[in-house]
Structure 1
Amino acid sequence: MVTSRPPFAEAPPAFPNSPKRHQERAKDMTRLFSTASAIALAVAAPALAEDPLHLGEISVYANKAGTPIPLERTGATVDVVTDHELRQSSETALADRLSLLPGVSASSNGGLGSTTTVRVRGLDGKYVKVLMDGIDITDPASSQVQFNWAGMTNAGLSRVEVLKGSSSSVYGSRAVAGVINMSSDQRTGEPGTVLRFGLEGGTYDTYRAGFNVTTEGERGGLSFSMSRVQTDGFSSKAAGTEPDGYEGTQLNFSADIMATDTLTLGVTGYALNSEGDFDEFGGDGVPPFDETNTTKTRALRAFAELATGAVTHTFSGTYYNNDRVSSSNGFDTPFDGTRKRLDYTGVWDVSQALQFTFGGDWEREEFVSGVDSGDADMTGIFAEALYAPNDSLDLSASLRWDDHSEFGGNLSGRLAAAWRPAENTIIRAVAATGFRAPSLYELNHTLYGNPNLQPEESASFELGVEQQFGRGSFVKATAFHTEIDNLIQFVTLTSFPQPFTGQYQQVPGTSTSQGVELSGAWVLSDSFSVYSNYTYTDAVDANGNRLLRVPGHDFVFGLATTFAERWEGDLAVHHVADRPDEFGTVMDDYTVTDATISYALSDTADAYLRIENIFDEQYQTSAGYNAPGRGFYVGLRAAF
């Protein structure tokens, strides 16, 4: 699947803080939904009706059952980055690659290894559940429970699936903006053993190496990957003088076996050892102190799947631990987060038209940081129905009840529909509720915690239309609107040069993030295609203040081509505009152009050249922090 990217114009003013605010918001969203539908349908007018609808991709995480479902049959909005797209990516950091998707943006406090956040539809990392092979890898000891994309590259990955929109009824707390799942299993379904390896080197003394081995038989298989990246980097802080490097070693594995004709046993695992330099405040810290984050992550999931006629039962247990030490100006601050989880899911194929999913789960999160500590349990029960009354309509409804040891019960729901009124047209609609329980850090930290915090609650709506033209060409428009009540924000109580104090506090009222995603691709020939997307986002808190680092306008244009014999290339232009940051500033707009050229040495090996930031644009994704300049990277990949 060819993916696309987003233009610029001035953002409209934030919603005024007045009694008419909700009426104005409703009117604006009516216009957004109408505009999105009109644009897509207008462009779709000359559709090539003789070409059958064929997206060529499936979603595994759009619904609770985990059963692969064609993208055209899910009401949820899902973007998939395929194995081929990951290999052809011009970007070193996976967060930068994901930011090329419509509705997704990223910001980083420097280069590879620096604190990095991925936002979905204007909402930052604490609202995005991140999974690795189905394991929740968000950090329970983080100030807000989220995943730090600092050193994550595409090494060892075969696919990334981005589910957008509130999904708490499927995935529980924190899945307010969506879910991102990274898959490492590189098995193809063909019997035999395959060995893959890759080597790369380039600017900032950056080196990457990795290998993967897969083996498959009649009753099971194994996929094992190991990768390492290291770089001298550059100064993260704009005022810094010394480079901030990073090194990390990552391991992924998955295995399963059919113990009997009805019972399958399996295990997946993820491990990361890393160390990265960082800058804070004025620059490089006070000599001779080096500022570093050292991280050791371990995650393991074991499962058993039992088929009993029309019902399939899956039992699983998961353990996750992230042990992180932040060293700054001679002081070490430890952060240790642990998650234990038990799951049961039953999938009942009632008929060809109806599938019913049900189950429950239990989860305990623990955090320790010096003298601060905390823990919480959450128990959930859920049910979901997928119903296809005819070939042109797919409906889904899910409901989940969570009981939190600190806050009691919460009910989340989602209704979604995918309607195909014509062979090449899809109309999607979703309405959902969600919630985010305060993190253990927000509740229990001695200096900044607030034990009086309550869960944030959300409601989201989206309406989209997609038109296919055959051969992979398409246009798509989606309007989205999310409301969050009682948003939790860090509030500064005193400021520098006075002794700095602050606290996490609830912001009364309703915060919103709304906008439109437009995307499309056109396959001009067997060897040339173009793709593009644009996202407009208006994200404000209850006081009308824009949410930090959220682009008002995000535009991507690219082309993919095969030229001459054995040559393949990809060029992507990414323009970002209108981003507020701290101190009431608006960061400068920027445009970055990346490219990849690869040459097939044989049927099983290829060499490539990646060029990041071709025109050496000087820009920042976080105010006061540098972004990578022009970089050249050469590599070799092979499979046997």
Structure 2
Amino acid sequence: MSGTTVHDGGFVSKYLFLFSVSLIASAAHAQDAQQQRQDAGDAAVAEILARQGEPAPAPAPTPTPVPAARHDRAATATDDAPTITVTANGLSTSIENTGQPVTLIDRQEIDAVQGADIARVLERVPSVSLTRNGPLGSYTGVSVRGADADQLLVLIDGVRVADPSSPAGGFDFGTLLASNISRIDFLRGSNSTIWGADAMGGVVDITTRATPGLGASVEYGARNTLTTQASAGIKGDGYSIGLGGAAIRSDGFSAAADGTEPDGLRQWGVGGTAHVDLTPQIEAFANGRYSHAHLDIDGFPPPNYVLADTDETQTTKQYSGALGLAYYGMDLTLRGAWSFADTARDNFDPATGPAPTFTGDGHSDMVSLRGEYRLIGGLTLAFGGEHERTSYQTSYDAHAATSITGGYLQAGWVLGNLAAHAGARVDDHERFGSKVSLGGDISYGLGHGWRLRTSYGEGFKPPTLYQLYSDYGNQQLRPETSTSVDFGIEHGTRGEGTHFALTAFRRDSSQLITFVSCFGVTGGICTNRPFGTYDNTDRARAHGIELEAGTQLAPGLRLAGYYTHLTAQDRGTGLDLARRPRDMATVHADYTAPFGVTLGGQLRLVGPSYDKAGEVDRLAGYTLADITASVPLTHDIDLFGRVENIFDESYQTAAGYGSPGRGAFIGVRGRM
């Protein structure tokens, strides 16, 4: 380990010192959003009084409402709606009008982080921890607030992209390149009320690049890594069309920490979006994405059956898309779509011949309708429903499929400084029957840019097809469930002026599905399952605090940081859950000189954790430091570069798997 390794005691004192810098700041920002809510409330009161036949005070002038469909287009196509979230209620809403904890990361911040590794971007979201099985492109799991990685609902351009053929049915972030992303909308907490199944830990909606104009970049660096990206888009009166793509080639390093043979990656992907106004009130939209990855992996060869260098490879193909219509009237917004997603994997081992050692294909189709009816003033009624059918097949398991249908209703009220929502949802699963999910949130402006927020949410996740029907399956499984609650105080807006947020949270999960060994057991649940099976065995609780702070130290110089203290435990044993560090922090500073040169630095601190349940195989804490720079060559062309892990820290996020050492990268990007 490098001399910069953070140990248990030093970690806490180090983050406290770093964050004290960004906490000493004045509170005077973000009055515009609060004033808009006050104006909306005045208009509501005026309308109520008028309908009662009483004299109504003249409301303050309010901006012309923007249709939800138009908000969606702004947020997903032109990146000019940085404070609009869709994860909170399913349609576009201002982040100040929800009590739920949401983090928005825009294209400018993604470009500032640099590189194709989406993990380095997600480290700027509070309560997010990541595990990776080796080099870039290897399986990458994202845990939020101590939830399992497969309990995070992932959307790409609004489409659910989980892999139904994987054992736990989650999404592998190793198949996604940050180079082709323009926006990340990340909700932390259970929200099956709006999103239905799988939204137990949170919801993340990722938007691919499709902005107007032309843009391209090329980057080369450590481990013979070459990354390219290009995008093109046009926007006119009543339409917008965009296309983007990215590719990476890297020699990598050994996935096995004790190995010596590099494991490389060849990956590329393309995506496109289109919006066309058929009438002044009706919009047609479509999007599509395709990704292809070829990854070298390490395995567990005989006779020792421990992780070691092998010649195994994995090919992953993903495609997804959506087609739909949006309607905007004076009081009603509707958005209906058909969407689909497919993930196919093939594993090969030259030692056993040319035939694949494993194949798997998971597919989903969904028909959905979301809407919002504006009653009077700040009163709204959001509603929606979906029908989803998922299927899977592997080289060892026959084709199996299931479906789920659900609908929700949510009332919202914005009056003066108050914004509140309360809703309920009913889902009917083909196999498990009905499930009711409740949720609500409140945001209250205190004045001078401060607001209080709180939210309550419930989540559930049905057993995956693999957990039900594979050789290890158990058809008596029940869905996992969760309830989450958080309370927070916030000042300002993330990334602007002075920003501060402190949030306390707790999530309780039950009926969690785990793998049960049947070694030496022949009866009961292990009947005809000699190697083991799945069962609802566990309960868990995760609670902690999130601290966010940012301030403009000087013209062009901004300092920001995020810290999480998390306790995630098995409620049966009282022991920590696997791969959940108790302390995580990211601090970054960015400086833009008057002549256009930008400099940046990021420090990521992660405390120790355990690799396996039962507090087995301790993973040491670590510190990673990156520096970045960008120099304008012309008005439209920048030269940029960075050094990752500048202290060459040796660390592991999954026991036995290697992680990248120091690496330098340089590139050029242009736009017009």
TM-score of the alignment, normalized to the shorter chain, above 0.5 = yes
The one of the two structures with greater contact order (alpha-carbon pairs below 8 A, sep at least 6) is: 1
Task: Quickly say closer, same or farther: Cα 1:44–1:123, change in 2 above 3 A.
Answer: same
Residues 1:153 and 2:181 are matched in the alignment: no
Gap regions ≥5 residues in structure 1: 1-6, 12-39, 188-192
SS of the residue corresponding to residue 467 of structure 2 reads: helix
The structure 1 residue matched to 2:564, chosen from 522, 532, 535, is: 535
Partner of 1:555: 585
Deviation for aligned residue 1:480: 0.8
The C-alpha deviation readout for 1:168-220, integer Å capped at 9, x for no partner, is: 11111110111111112443xxxxx5111110111111001111001001010
Which residues of 2 match residues 515-530 of structure 1 at below 5 A?
Answer: 515-530=544-559
Tell me the residue number matched to 1:379.
405
Alignment RMSD: 2.6
Report whether the alignment pairs 1:569 with 2:548: no
Alpha carbons of 1:397 and 1:366: their partners in 2 closer, same or farther (altered >3 Å)? same
Assess, with a 3 A threshold, how the Cα gap between structure 1 residues 157 and 351 changes in structure 2: closer, same or farther: same
Residue identity opposite 2:404 in structure 1: M
Contact 2:387 2:405 in 1 (8 A): yes
Identify the residue that residue 197 of structure 2 maps to in structure 1. Answer: 173
Match of 1:433 in 2: 458
| Equivalent position SS for 1:501 | coil
Q: Deviations over 1:523-558 (max 9, x none)?
A: 111211111121011111232232111111112222
Partner of 1:218: 237
State the partner residue of 1:451.
475
Residue 589 of structure 1 aligns with an amino acid whose one-letter code is: G
Secondary structure (helix, strand or coil) at the match of 2:269 reads strand
Corresponding residue of 1:243: 262
Q: 2:339 is aligned with what amino acid? A: T
- Whole-Å separation in 1 of the counterparts to 2:24 and 2:253: 49
Report what 2:54 is aligned to.
Answer: none
Give the Cα separation in 1 of the matches to 2:264 and 2:120.
Answer: 18
Question: Which of 107, 126, 133 does residue 109 from structure 1 map onto?
Answer: 133
What's the offset of the Cα at 1:617?
0.6
Alignment of 1:268-307 (within 5 A): 268-281=287-300, 290-307=311-328
CA offsets 1:257-295 (integer angstroms, 9 cap, x no match)? 011122111101111011111123369999996211111
Task: Indicate whether 1:86 and 2:110 are aligned.
Answer: yes
Given residue 202 of structure 1, which amino acid in structure 2 is its aligned partner?
A: G
Deviations along 1:98-126, whole A, 9 cap, x unmatched?
02321111110101111110111111221
SS at match of 2:532: strand
Report the Cα offset of residue 152 of structure 1.
2.1
Counterpart of 1:37?
Answer: none
**Which segment is superposed worse, 47-56 or 624-633?**
47-56
Q: Is 2:26 the partner of 1:52?
A: no
Contact 1:100 1:574 in 2 (8 A): no
SS state of the match for residue 595, structure 1? strand
Aligned to 1:26: none
Contact 1:492 1:503 in 2 (8 A): yes
The C-alpha deviation readout for 1:309-344, integer Å capped at 9, x for no partner, is: 421222210121111112345352111001011011
Task: State the partner residue of 1:127.
Answer: 151
CA distance in 2, matches of 1:480, 1:577: 19
Instruction: Report if the CA contact (8 A) 1:96-1:106 is conserved.
Output: no
Q: In structure 2, what is the equivalent of residue 366 of structure 1? A: 391
Query: What corresponds to 2:671 in structure 1?
Result: 639
Report how far residue 241 of structure 1 moved: 2.1
1:318 to 335, 339, 363: 339
Superposition deviation, residue 44 in structure 1 = 8.0
Residue 168 of structure 2 is matched in structure 1 by: 144
Answer yes or no: is the 8 Å Cα contact 2:29–2:491 preserved in 1: no
* Matched ranges for 1:490-639 at <5 A: 490-494=515-519, 501-508=531-538, 510-543=539-572, 544-563=574-593, 565-582=595-612, 584-639=616-671
Judging changes above 3 Å, is the alpha-carbon distance between structure 1 residues 626 and 53 closer, same or farther for their aligned structure 2 residues? farther
Give the SS at the match of 2:477. Answer: coil
Q: Give the secondary structure class of the aligned counterpart of 1:494.
A: coil
Q: Give the aligned partner of residue 3 of structure 1.
A: none
1:489 aligns with 2:518: no
Structure-1 separation of matches of 2:363 and 2:28: 53
Aligned partners of 1:596 and 1:430: how far apart in 2?
37
3-state SS of the aligned residue for 2:125?
coil
For residue 59 of structure 1, report the CA deviation from its aligned partner.
3.1
Matched AA of 2:586: V
Q: Distance in 1 between matches of 2:586 and 2:257?
A: 26
Name 2:59's counterpart in structure 1. Answer: none
Q: Give the aligned length.
A: 593
For the Cα contact (< 8 Å) 2:294–2:315, is it kept in 1? Answer: yes
Deviations 1:52-107 (A, max 9, x none): 3669842332333412x222221010111111111111454102320232111111
Give 2:411's aligned amino acid. A
Q: Distance in 2 between matches of 1:287 and 1:216?
A: 52
SS at match of 2:31: coil
CA contact (8 A) 1:284 1:291 kept: no
Structure (1/2) with the larger strand percentage: 1
Q: Kindly provide the amino acid, as one letter, of the partner of residue 95 in structure 1.
A: A
Structure 2 runs not aligned, ≥5 long: 1-5, 11-18, 35-80, 521-528
Superposed displacement of residue 151, structure 1 = 3.7
